[in-house]
Amino acid sequence: MRNRFGYVVVLLALVGNSASGSVQAAEPLGTIPEVELLDVAGNKVTTSQFRSRKAVVFAFLGLECPVANAYAPQMQRLADRFVQQDVAWVGVYSERGATRDAAAKHGDEYGLKFPRLLDTNQQLAAQAGVKRVPTFVVVAPSGAILYRGRIDDRWSPDGRRRDVPRTQDLIDAVEAIVAGKTPPNAETPVFGCPLSYKPAATK
């Protein structure tokens, strides 16, 4: 059943806080190596398949996260917009226990038409430095991470929701990258549901 995005206080317990200001970085925030994952249809996909584009946006999703699900319509609009700028948009499910069936149903429920991958071993999320969902990571053809953060500042650091966001951080970053420029902010604070990582294997 669809999560109703009521602006309820209970979800704030799930919302992670980071620094309240944007962080600028002159150097890439890291790199994404070639990673092979399955898409929701069971096909093998490698991250290098998107390197012919000017950039790729990896949108880290949450099956049950109210904040991530509330952004679903905006995600699809941006995916449609960015493809016109030769920028790929790829959804990623890195939550523990996510299944292809659950991910496929999630996409159907929220109208997500862009490619979506299962990162159940959390390799891509770890390489991208993702700590909560939704997080958006913009990667250059070289694999360099040029932006990591939020879509906009609709959510304030204390968990209050603005009717109209004051910034469009992801759009600004992508448009700068497409123009061959450095994003105005390489990293912005993310507010959403913490991504729980699997414990490291012990020898």
- Residue 135: inside a domain, yes or no? yes
Q: Which residues of 141-154 are buried (b: 16+ CB within 10 A; e: fewer)?
A: eebebbbbbbbbbb
pLDDT in tens, 162-186: 888 898 999 999 999 999 999 999 9
* Residue 190 covered by a domain: yes
39 inside domain: yes
HSE toward the beta carbon, residue 66, CA cutoff 13 A: 17
Kindly report, residue by residue over 2-59, the tens digit of the pLDDT.
Answer: 444 333 323 333 333 333 343 334 478 999 988 999 999 999 999 888 888 999 999 9
> Is 139 part of a structural domain of the chain?
yes
What pLDDT, on a 0 to 100 scale, did the predictor assign at position 200?
55
Total domain count for the chain? 1
Q: What is the CATH number of the domain that holds 49?
A: 3.40.30.10
Has residue 123 been placed in a domain?
Answer: yes
Domain containing residue 47: 29-194
77 located within any domain = yes
Mean pLDDT across 144-159: 88
27 class by beta-carbon count within 10 Å (0-12 exposed, 13-18 middle, 19+ buried): exposed
Residue 18 lies in a domain: no
Helix, strand or coil for residue 138?
strand
- Give the model confidence (pLDDT) of 75-104 as tens digits: 999 999 999 999 999 999 999 889 999 999
> Is residue 2 included in any domain, yes or no?
no
